Chains A and B, each alone.
Chain A
Amino acid sequence: MAYPRQPRFSRRQVVRGLMATTAFGVVTKFGTACSPGTDAGSAPGDSSAGGGEDLMVGFIYVGPKDDFGYNQAHAEGAAAMAANVAGIKIVEEASVPETTAVAETMRSMIEIDGAKVLFPTSFGYFDPYILELATEFPDVQFFHAGGLYQEGVHPDNVGSYFGYIDEAQYVAGVVAGATSKSGKLGFVAAKPIPQVLRNINAFTLGAKSVNPDITTQVIFTGEWAEPVKEAEATNSMADQGIDVVTCHVDSPKVVMETAEKRGIFSSGYHANQAPLAPEGYLTGAEWDWSSIYTRLGEEFLAGKTLMAGDIPHILRGGLADNFCKLSDYGPAVSEEAKAAADAAKDQLIKGELIIYPGGLKDNNGNVVVPEGEGYKQDNIELEKMDYLIEGVQGSIEG
């Protein structure tokens, strides 16, 4: 009974499927023919609307805005920009993956919300998405967190900003070195890329400045967000007698909470994690996007743009320029540690302290910084860092 009916039913479905596909094709064609018209129609409308009203600024994050980490730091900065600069309105979108999704989000912010400035904050948004959109929308400014802008190669309306947060990590290292009783520090890191290695090395150098024998055990989890491995790494560090841990992962939440649970000290990263570890939180290297975003917001309203060259394409800075800051000291930090850290901070702000001194050796005994005065923060060699310094236990080979 069922069998003879089967082919008839299927044939009908084939016909229907073919019709649907044809209809779909017609719609696509019809739409294609229409698209230049709609584009042309919407563009002037946007620009005229943007004239007398607030400047619309778009922020895009790769994860949730309340991740206690990288994205939260940017979201707090965005909120500060909107609050401090009258005449700026922000639109935000969180959890946008580094795929065509971010291109669509940027486009939608420009076309629907009328955004004139975009801050796509994740590292991986840059190439190809920001570059493609920037070419397509030459009068929209794109600011990217990362040091990737190349003069002459990339479009004029793209800029990059990034902070020397290893300065803050150095100071956090001083606090950690002065607080640690076992002389063993732990660093949970995501991937062995230059930015991460800089933080590990600066943290260790800061700690060694108060206790030359101190060691830092580093564990790479391999991913930016790998909560289970981060917790395992922190636990195994606590088991080994390590008594201060810090990290460079997207969200330090798990590391901080695990450390607090195990009764060891922690040093934060990206944003302030003191609420997660009220007892053991020492301090932390935080981004200070609030000040940078506020400054940029004021420049936008003053009519400055990347295209005109009023805003530099590469914005860099450390503690002195308010690109980064330190969390308030936690209850476990001694007065001596505070004094040592404040002194280091002052020297860094005045530019008197060079984090990477001449003759620095890696943990295989090779000299990685030539004898002499050492590498200053803006030295291009530091952006290619591929070593762990003496005193760090671990290997970038995984």
Chain B
Amino acid sequence: MAIAQAPNPSPVSWLQRWRQPLEAVALPVAALLSALILFGIFCAFSGANPFAVYGSIYKAAFGNWSAWQNTLIRASPLMLTALCTALPARLGLVIIGNEGALVMGGLAAVVAGLQLGTGLPAPLTQILMAIAALCGGGLWIMLAGALRHYRGVNETISSLLLNYIAIALMNHLVEGPMRDAEFVTKPSSAELDPGLWIGNLPGSRIHFGLIYGLIACLIAYVLIQRTTFGFAARTAGGNIRAARIAGLPVGKLTLAVCFLGGSCAGLAGMVEIAAVQKRLNASLVSNYGYAGILVAFVSRHNPLATVLVAILLGGILASGGILQRSHNLPDATVLVFQGIVFLCVLFSDSLYGRLPWFQEKAVS
């Protein structure tokens, strides 16, 4: 670093050096701003004052500690489910089986938790539940990866379809073999022992899942950016034939990365059950998986950016209520906002390297 800075302290080289990071920050910010403007126009057409709406969104999402908690509660499962798309994406795979992996993880965790019951010390049981969840979600997505690698089945389609299979399997189990007849609200499994629940962070109503999400994103970042394994995965993602020629075990890499991605979503399922639902039922399927896909794409599959984008999306979701209650906007408004943000960010993706300000100056 020191060597690079010393010889050339002129402003031009400063711009040269920061060109890429600047672009990486400026484009998403510009995309968000244009999304806000478009959404403002939409609000104006729906008869609400756009600036008042912006103010409400900010207040409801990040205005005070209570709003922050609301945002973070919604963001924490998204960090984990987003990794299910973001990690395989570095290998060039488009996996959208997040919802299914989440369900399989939750299912595995509940089965483990109910089977072990109170026989073992609670922390040990929780770890075993987490391992079950990691394996459940991981193997599920690994299946899509294996189909891709060995049979050439399109991983996007197969992982999407695996979602439906996972949800159907869970519905079958909670309506049949695992059903707790005492619980009448909806077909559900028996309740986990209170000792196995995941509590809240001290002094807040945010459960520990947030910490799991942050840690997982950090590990994923280090793994992808800082290890040989991550480098091999990125190489295979960049050019699979070159990777093969270089002697990289592409098949093993595919399976391993898919397993890791799926296991993150599986962990989200376990957290959702142990911290929120306490039992397995259809409420586990509440679009955390699909929202995770969005987070992964908006963060350009960078695990650290995932954290920020998940918080942003959590904030948008948290503001959905206030849009209805204070501005009389229809309940789908928050989805419109989410959709506009997604489209703007995806469009901005196509602008990388095309804007003259960020293009490398021809060095004489």
Contacts and interface: CB of A to CB of B under 8 A. Distances in A.
Contacts of A10: 225-226
B286 A13 contact: no
Given A21-B214, A97-B286, A31 B65 contact: yes
Interface string A181-213: 000000000011110000000000000000000
A21 B1 CA distance: 23
Contacts of A24: 214, 307
Contacts of B331: 64-65, 93-95
A32 B204 CA distance: 6
Interface string B219-230: 001100110000
B154 to A, nearest CB: 23
Contacts of A236: none
Nearest to A106: B321
Contacts of A34: 65
B73 A146 contact: no
A193 B282 CA distance: 14
B287 interface: yes
Nearest to A123: B185
A350 interface: no
A50 interface: no
A66 to B, nearest CB: 9
A148 B188 CA distance: 15
B167 to A, nearest CB: 10
Contact of A95 (B307, B318, B332): B332
Interface string B262-299: 00000000001000111001110011000000000000
A229 B320 CA distance: 30
Most chain A CB atoms below 10 A, which of B214, B221, B283, B317: B283
Given A35-B204, A65-B331, A222-B171, A108 B70 contact: yes
B362 interface: no
A124 B322 contact: no
B222 A93 contact: no
A367 B324 CA distance: 51
Nearest to B171: A222
B324 A93 contact: yes
Contacts of B241: none
A101 interface: yes
A111 interface: yes
A110 to B, nearest CB: 11
Contacts of A93: 320-321, 324-325, 331
A311 interface: no
A105 B331 CA distance: 13
Contacts of B175: 191-192, 398
Interface bracket on B = 35 or more
A123 B186 contact: yes
Contact of B74 (A100, A113, A146): A100
B226 A14 contact: yes
B203 interface: yes
A307 B316 CA distance: 36
A192 B187 CA distance: 10
A320 interface: no
Contact of A100 (B60, B66, B73, B330): B73
A64 B331 CA distance: 7
A98 interface: yes
Interface in A1-46: 8-14, 17, 20-21, 24, 27-28, 31-36, 38-39
A97 B287 contact: yes
B184 A148 contact: yes
Contacts of B185: 123-124, 126-127, 146, 148
Given A93-B331, A124-B185, A194-B184, A101 B317 contact: yes
Contacts of B60: 108
Contacts of B322: 108, 112
B68 interface: yes
B20 A9 contact: yes
A108 to B, nearest CB: 6
B242 to A, nearest CB: 14
A36 B283 CA distance: 31
Interface in A108-142: 108-109, 111-113, 123-124, 126-128
Contacts of A321: none
B202 interface: yes
B263 to A, nearest CB: 21
B276 A91 contact: no
A104 interface: yes
A38 B64 contact: yes
B192 to A, nearest CB: 12
A31 B68 contact: yes
B186 A124 contact: yes
Most chain B CB atoms below 10 A, which of A11, A108, A191, A192: A108
B312 interface: no
Nearest to B318: A104
A99 interface: yes
A38 B184 contact: no
A202 to B, nearest CB: 19
A232 interface: no
B203 A36 contact: yes
Nearest to B230: A10
A382 to B, nearest CB: 13
Most chain B CB atoms below 10 A, which of A20, A21, A223: A21
A298 interface: no
Nearest to B172: A398
Contact of B184 (A11, A112, A113, A193): A193
Contacts of A127: 183, 185
Interface in B138-161: none
Interface in B158-213: 171, 175, 183-187, 201-204
Nearest to B305: A17
B128 interface: no
B201 A100 contact: no
Given A95-B332, A222-B171, A32 B202 contact: yes
Interface in A53-86: 64-65
B21 to A, nearest CB: 8
14 contacts: A8-B1, A14-B222, A14-B225, A20-B304, A28-B201, A64-B330, A92-B325, A99-B283, A104-B73, A123-B185, A124-B281, A148-B184, A191-B186, A223-B282
Given A39-B66, A94-B331, 16 more contacts: A11-B1, A14-B222, A17-B218, A20-B304, A21-B214, A28-B201, A31-B68, A64-B331, A93-B320, A97-B286, A97-B287, A100-B276, A104-B74, A124-B283, A127-B183, A194-B184
Q: Rank and list the top 9 A-B pairs by shortest CB-CB distance, nearest first.
A: A94-B331, A95-B331, A32-B203, A31-B65, A17-B304, A98-B283, A97-B286, A99-B286, A91-B325
Interface of B: 1, 4, 20-21, 60, 64-66, 68-70, 73-74, 171, 175, 183-187, 201-204, 214, 218, 221-222, 225-226, 272, 276-278, 281-283, 286-287, 304, 307-308, 317-318, 320-322, 324-325, 330-332
